[in-house]
Every structure is written in structure tokens, then in C-alpha cells.
Amino acid sequence: MSDDDKLNLRLASHEEIEQSLSFALRFDGRKRVRHADDAMARITAERLVQHLERSGYVLMKRPGATAPSTSRHRHPNSD
């Protein structure tokens, strides 16, 4: 991670952490994992976030990446 990337970090919200953990419990890459249903994944994610907070963890998040363009036209702000 470059120094510029470190300057753009921000605290990840509880909801972002829960959504990421819940997604990881329900999917393996893009393939759906059938042994973990949505409700159990959500509950587990919430409990994990609570435990991380009590343990003193601070999770940081980079700003969202811009979506890639599929257009063959040059963007006016690109070099």
C-alpha cells in the first residue's frame, strides 16, 4: 500500500463491516455457499463486529474505486 493510499483511508462503518463479513459467509468468490443461509450469516457478522469492537480493533477502508469504462471514447479528464 502506497503512502497516498494510506492518506485516503477512513474508518469502516459497522454496516460496511457486517455486509462484508456476511457476504464472505454466504459466498466463495462469486459462487454461493449453500451451507450458510442469509439470516445466520447476518447474525454471525453482527456478533463478529461486536467482538472486534470490544477487542479494540479499528478497521479502515479505502475509498471506492471508480467503475471501469466500457466505452472506446476517451474520457475528457484522462491523459
Which tens digits make up the pLDDT trace of 46-63?
Answer: 889 888 888 888 888 887
Query: Does the residue 44 lie in any domain?
Result: yes
Q: What is the pTM of this model?
A: 0.56
Number of separate domains in the chain: 1
Query: Does the residue 48 lie in any domain?
Result: yes
Q: In the beta sheet, which residues pair with residue 32?
A: 27
Query: Does the residue 28 lie in any domain?
Result: yes
Query: Does the residue 76 lie in any domain?
Result: no
Q: Which of 24, 32, 31 is nearest to 48 (CA)?
A: 24
Q: How remote is the C-alpha of 16 from its chain's centroid?
A: 6
Query: Does the residue 46 lie in any domain?
Result: yes
Query: Does the residue 32 lie in any domain?
Result: yes
Query: Does the residue 75 lie in any domain?
Result: no
What is the rounded average pLDDT for all residues in the chain?
78
Query: In terms of residue numbers, what domain contains 9?
Result: 3-56
